[in-house]
Amino acid sequence: MSAKIAIVGAGPSGCYTAQALLKRAPDLEVDILDAQPVPYGLVRYGVAADHQGTKGVARQFARVFTRQNAHFIGNLRVGRDVSMEELRGAYDAVVLAAGLSADRPLGIPGDDLPGVIGSGALTRALYEHPEAQALPELGEAPVVIGTGNVAIDILRLLAKTPEELKGSDLGPVPTDWLAARKIRRITVVGRSTAGAAKFSPVMVKELGELSQVDLRLPGCAQDAGEALQAAVAASAGPLPIEFRFQSRPVALEQADGALRLTVETPQGVEQIAATSVISAIGFTSDGALDRGALLQEVEAGTGRLYATGWFRNGSVGAIPQCREEGQRLAQQILDEITPDPARPGRALFADRSDVVDFDHWLQLDARELAAATDQRCRQKIHLREELLRPANLQDA
Ligand SMILES: Cc1cc2nc3c(=O)[nH]c(=O)nc-3n(C[C@H](O)[C@H](O)[C@H](O)COP(=O)(O)OP(=O)(O)OC[C@H]3O[C@@H](n4cnc5c(N)ncnc54)[C@H](O)[C@@H]3O)c2cc1C
């Protein structure tokens, strides 16, 4: 079958969907479009720099391009550089796999005060996303809101010594930023009970094993799972990280040059002093695509439009779920698609000189790996103009 399919987003959902489509129907023309000049979405810019095993899934995704002949069309933001209408006119089916990149706001008074930063903004800065803001000043006593794995990732990075970051791909600027931090204690605030917290036991165990960490639990956290209790017992470093469960944030205000977070607990209202607040409570759409309207169309099944991954489900599910969903979706598309040879497919972009292909990424990849030092497995190129400028690649 030589149908033409555009997938918007080269993260895990897009790559797994392409993999499953091309496995079942190798003659398909599958193009994966991404707003960034590089592929892999959160595998490159979200999964922690010190979790290289997880990031290794990128090798599997690379084969979707190099062996299964999917085409990467990078540096093309759908909704800005090409419209959904143009895309839908040019392809037999369009799959929305654009993820969710904006931090979900806390939704409480004061959530936009200086010193409040979203986990997405912070991890993009730590992992050198081309659109990242500068790394923030966290001060001596940051408060992390949220008890999912993203929160634990951030705690781990903030607590690691330079020695413990060996083998990661953390860049020199974030490395210096971490080395210069002045954190004396971290408070983690979550609405759920300890037993209902979303972090995985493995992540908590890893946190408790770090040399600097001293995990603390208030007496009321009786339902804390075995992993958390064991991590609390095992950790004996100089940096206190205190979990406060059943604490619902209700307001943030500025007080004496710092922040004050008010939380409601079963015992009553409490206030927590913070030099900064990192919110890790999930993600929402960046607005480049009209997600609500598009998902309605997808649900209505009005034709040739599909969605998967975080864009479809909200920010729930890890990489393995993207794979399962991609496989199901591929079968659905193949059952429903009606190819129209008149549709131009990737010829739509024939005149564009600003997009990049997978060979471009392979050169960047080689260059980043070659630039790695003995402490790091890769040195990322982070400026968009450097990611795009071919002259930069000559010596790759
Ligand atoms: C900080 C963090 C750490 C995580 N760590 C882990 C982990 O260790 N293990 C694990 O299994 N899961 C982890 N996850 C979850 C995992 O990253 C997600 O399950 C997965 O990335 C979702 O894939 P996706 O393809 O739906 O979205 P994404 O990975 O976000 O990919 C979406 C892609 O779409 C592109 N895009 C967006 N808008 C447009 C547009 N308008 N036009 C063109 N392209 C666009 C983006 O540039 C991006 O490349 C983590 C998530 C976060 C936030």
Percentage, residues of the chain above pLDDT 90:
94
Q: In whole angstroms, give the CA distance from residue 46 to residue 106.
A: 20
**Ligand 1 centre from 11 Cα, in Å?**
5
Q: Is the CB of 42 under 6 A from ligand 1?
A: yes
* 156 vs 159: CA distance, rounded Å: 5
The reply to whether ligand 1 has any atom less than 6 angstroms from the CB of 319 is yes
User: Is the shortest distance between the CB of 346 and ligand 1 below 6 Å?
Assistant: no
Q: What is the pLDDT of residue 303?
A: 67
Distance CA 41, CA 309 (A): 12
DSSP code of residue 238: S
User: In this predicted structure, what is the pLDDT of residue 392?
Assistant: 52
pLDDT number for residue 218: 83
**For residue 178, what are the CA distances in angstroms to 1, 141, 150, 182?**
52, 14, 18, 9
pLDDT value for 219: 74
Going by alpha carbons, the residue nearest to atom 41 of ligand 1 is 78
Q: How far does residue 12's CA lie from ligand 1's centre (Å)?
A: 7
Residue ID of nearest Cα to ligand 1 atom 12:
318
**H or E element that contains 143:** strand 142-145
Task: Average the pLDDT over 245-255 and give the result.
Answer: 96
Task: Quote the ligand 1 centre to 40 CA distance (angstroms).
Answer: 8
Closest residue to atom 19 of ligand 1, CA basis: 318
Atom 33 (ligand 1) nearest CA: 9
Pairing between strand 213-216 and 186-189? unpaired
Residue 389 pLDDT grade (very low, low, confident, very high; cuts 50, 70, 90) = confident
Task: Return phi, psi of residue 301, to 5°.
Answer: 65, 35
User: Is the pLDDT score of 131 beyond 70?
Assistant: yes
Pick from 104-108, 165-169, 238-242, 371-375: least confident? 371-375
Burial class (CB in 10 A: 0-12, 13-18, 19+), 179: exposed
Residue 51 CA, chain-centre distance (Å), reads 13
Substitution site in 43, 47, 72, 126 for ligand 1 pocket (most atoms within 8 Å of beta carbon): 47
Residue 393 pLDDT level (bands cut at 50, 70, 90): low
- Span 145-185, pLDDT tens digits: 999 999 999 999 999 999 999 999 999 999 999 999 999 99
pLDDT computed for residue 1 by the predictor: 61
Residue 263 has pLDDT above 60, yes or no: yes
**Residue bearing the bigger pLDDT, 143 or 223:** 143
For residues 320-346, give the mean pLDDT: 97
Instruction: Assess whether the C-beta atom of 153 lies below 6 angstroms from ligand 1.
Output: yes
Q: What is the pLDDT, as a whole number, of residue 342?
A: 96
Tell me, what DSSP letter sits at residue 190? Answer: -
Q: Among the residues of the chain, which ranges form H helices? A: 12-24, 42-45, 52-55, 57-66, 84-90, 119-126, 149-159, 172-179, 201-208, 226-234, 291-300, 309-313, 319-336, 358-370, 384-388
- What's the pLDDT band for 396 if we cut at 50, 70, 90? very low
| 35 touches ligand 1 (CB under 6 Å) | yes
Please tell me the predicted confidence (pLDDT) of residue 82. 97
Query: Phi-psi bin for 296: left (phi > 0), alpha (psi -120 to 50), beta?
Result: alpha
Report how far ligand 1's centroid is from the alpha carbon of 61 (Å): 13
How many whole angstroms from its chain centre is CA 162? 23
Ligand 1, atom 13: nearest CA belongs to which residue? 318
The answer to whether the CB of 118 is under 6 A from ligand 1 is: no
Determine the residue type at 185. R
Mean pLDDT of 117-144: 98
The mean of the pLDDT values for the chain is 95
In this structure, the residue with its CA closest to atom 30 of ligand 1 is 99
pLDDT tens digit sequence for 65-77: 999 999 999 999 9
**Amino acid identity, position 382:** H
Spatial separation of the C-alpha atoms in residues 206 and 41, rounded to whole Å: 25
**DSSP 3-state of 183:** coil
For ligand 1, is residue 54 a contact (CB within 6 Å)? yes
Report the pLDDT value the prediction gives residue 37, as an integer from 0 to 100: 97
Amino acid making up residue 206 = E
Give 101 Cα–ligand 1 centroid separation in angstroms: 8
Whose Cα sits closest to atom 14 in ligand 1? 318
Which residue segments constitute the domains of the chain, with CATH numbers given?
A: 4-101+285-393 (3.40.50.720), 104-282 (3.50.50.60)
| Of 140, 144, 136, 152, residue with least CA distance to 205 | 152
Identify the band that residue 390 occupies on the pLDDT scale cut at 50, 70 and 90: low
Mean pLDDT of 328-350: 96
- Please give the average per-residue pLDDT across 134-140, as a whole number: 97
DSSP state of 222: T
